[in-house]
Structure 1
Amino acid sequence: MSRLPGRAEHHWLWQGEAACRELGSRLFFHPTGEERAEREARNAAAKDVCALCPVQRACLRHALEVGEPFGVWGGLTAHERRELRRAGGMRRAVPSTV
């Protein structure tokens, strides 16, 4: 009898449908030394992509569940996700049906 957990691609298949899939990471993760105004503009542009994404909720759920410490995921910055977790809002923000 195998003790391996079995197939798990259902945990990441949503990524194939992501609007950001072909965009690279520069828009979603800040470079070293980025100024505040540049960061705000980059985050706003990343959030614009997320707003049109068909898997935005799955992306946000993933980032919250794994505690992703960097970047814009599911339309929220790392700081916004920390605030959401701190407020206990994970279940309200991303229903379990996603």
Structure 2
Amino acid sequence: MTASHARPRPLVEEWDWQYEGECRRLPPEVFFPEDSGRVGLRAREERAKQICRSCPVVNLCREHALAVRETHGVWGAMSARDRAKVLTGGSDPRV
């Protein structure tokens, strides 16, 4: 059986980038705004994306989220909708 997408290997060296993320300094709900309800969701996502854009590991974070097909939250300055568009061949709304 072949996987439809590659998952990162569980090696510490491949996950070290997460220690450098701007998100570590903020509450998780900033980057998972859908948990706060639909009203104002896009504004909350944009706030999270702005934080991501200044993050030193934004590209690694984005690559990870796309590779594992993360379905929730803002990762690498991309919402779940943004990632779904990229993965289905739609427009690429990256930074």
Q: How far, CA to CA, are the matches of 1:57 and 1:49 in structure 2?
A: 13
Gaps of 5+ in 1: 1-6, 94-98
Greater C-alpha radius of gyration? 1
Gaps of 5+ in 2: 1-9
Paired residue for 1:23? 26
After TM superposition, which residue ranges in structure 1, 4 or more long, deviate above 6 angstroms? none
Same amino acid, percent of matched pairs: 36
- From 6, 10, 14, the equivalent of 1:11 is 14
Question: Residue 77 of structure 2: SS of its match in structure 1?
Answer: coil
Paired residue for 1:58? 60
- RMSD of the TM alignment (CA)? 2.0
Q: CA deviation at 1:35?
A: 2.9
Give the number of aligned pairs: 83
Provide TM-score, normalisation by structure 1: 0.76
